[in-house]
Amino acid sequence: MTHAPARLLPVLLACALAAVVPSVSRATDARSFPDRPVRIVAGQQAGSATDNVTRIVADALAEHWGVGVVVDNRPGAGGTIGAEAVARATPDGYTLLLGGLSNLVIGAVTRTDIRYDPERDFIAIGRVAHVPFGFAVHASVPAASLRELADLARAQPGKLTYATLGPGTTTDFGSTMFRSAAGVDMLPVEYKGANTALVDVVAGRVDVFFNEVAMLSQHAQSGALRFLAIASPKRVARVADVPTTAEAGFPSVVVAPWYGVLVPAGTPPEVVRRLEEAYAAAIRSPALRSRIEALGYQMIDDAPGRFATALRDDTRTFRALVGAKPVPR
């Protein structure tokens, strides 16, 4: 065996240490994660369902970790601007995405301008809640049911207006499904956010809005809006007297949005593990559960790996649905 000259030993030792120290440093960093504030990106404006869930999750994670968790609203393009920002972020666990059906599934199968792959560019940590959506009209619209709305739209093609948050969004997709199932033509009015759209619907400047139940129900209670149907598989306790779309005669118009936490692909496994532990602790938090349920949302407690499976399955389902029923805007 050939031995290295004595004068080379310091050099070889330095090289060996250089190879070991980075891995030790990374392990140390992972064990101390998080040691500075964490950012959660919400792809919609403040006051939206996305924002509501994000802030509830942020509070629960901050309490669990004992570090600040900041909500970063990046609205626009159906939540895809925020999702792309996270997909391109440094994969160190300090930038999270509160993603949903809109920017992870519907946008991915209906838009050609998305510059990320929801399954390839993210690691799914866990879903938080289902957020029921429904159809409401301004009180001046002479329709007391979804069937009557379809009849009214059919009698006045292109006259009734509906609020949309743009192609690839849950709001737009649900509206499009209804128009297709009813065979009607209505005029879209596009907004950058649900809050902005709601102002015009409540004021009577727009006739129809498909959006989350929690946002619409308070205005239905005041009499400004009239709830017609819930697009979930079953009725929602918050508005128990409102029928489902299936009960209203439109069984194909079912949209059940969910929201969950993801990180960029490439995040170290140990950091992912710590994020999964924090997610599990947050989901078990009574404060988180009470806040989610107070909004009329439905909790999801994903087992490890379940979110990734649900994302893949929903993508295939929506791709088949869009392929079977192409609907022009």
Query: What pLDDT, in 10s, does the model give residues 149-173?
Result: 999 999 999 999 999 998 889 999 9
259-282 average pLDDT score: 97
CB atoms within 10 A of CB 36: 9
Instruction: Look up residue 4 and give its DSSP letter.
Output: P
Q: Which residue has the higher pLDDT, 303 or 88?
A: 88
Q: Is the pLDDT of residue 13 over 60?
A: no
Strand, coil or helix: 235: coil
Point out which residues pair with 163 in neighbouring strands.
189, 209
Q: Is the pLDDT of residue 27 over 50?
A: no
Tokens matching residue 139: 């009180």
Quickly tell me which residue has 């909500």 as its tokens.
Answer: 71
Q: Average per-residue pLDDT in the chain? A: 90
Binned at pLDDT 50, 70 and 90, residue 129 comes out as very high
Binned at pLDDT 50, 70 and 90, residue 304 comes out as confident
291-295 average pLDDT score: 91
**Contact yes or no for 173/140 (Cβ under 8 A):** no
The highest-confidence range among 73-77, 189-193, 222-226, by mean pLDDT, is 222-226
Q: Give domain 133-239's CATH superfamily.
A: Periplasmic binding protein-like II (3.40.190.10)
Give the architecture-level CATH label for domain 36-130+257-324: 3-Layer(aba) Sandwich (3.40)
> What is the enclosing helix (H) or strand (E) of 217?
helix 213-222
This prediction has a pTM of 0.82
The string of DSSP codes covering 53-95 is HHHHHHHHHHHHHSS-EEEEE---GGGHHHHHHHHTS-SSSSE
Same fold, 36-130+257-324 and 133-239: yes
Q: What is the residue extent of each domain of the chain?
A: 36-130+257-324, 133-239
Question: Percent of the chain beyond pLDDT 90?
Answer: 75
Nearest to 135 by CA among 217, 239, 218, 208: 208
3-state SS string for 261-320: EEEECCCCHHHHHHHHHHHHHHHHCHHHHHHHHHCCCEECCCCCCHHHHHHHHHHHHHHH
Please give the backbone phi and psi of residue 233, each rounded to the nearest 5 degrees, phi first: -65, -25
Q: How many Cα atoms within 13 Å fall on the side-chain side of residue 72?
A: 16
Binned at pLDDT 50, 70 and 90, residue 28 comes out as very low
Q: What is the pLDDT of residues 52-86, one digit of tens each?
A: 999 999 999 999 999 999 999 999 888 999 999 99
Cα–Cα distance measured from residue 288 to residue 291, given in angstroms and rounded to the nearest whole number: 5
Cα–Cα distance measured from residue 20 to residue 326, given in angstroms and rounded to the nearest whole number: 56
Q: Is the pLDDT of residue 43 over 80?
A: yes
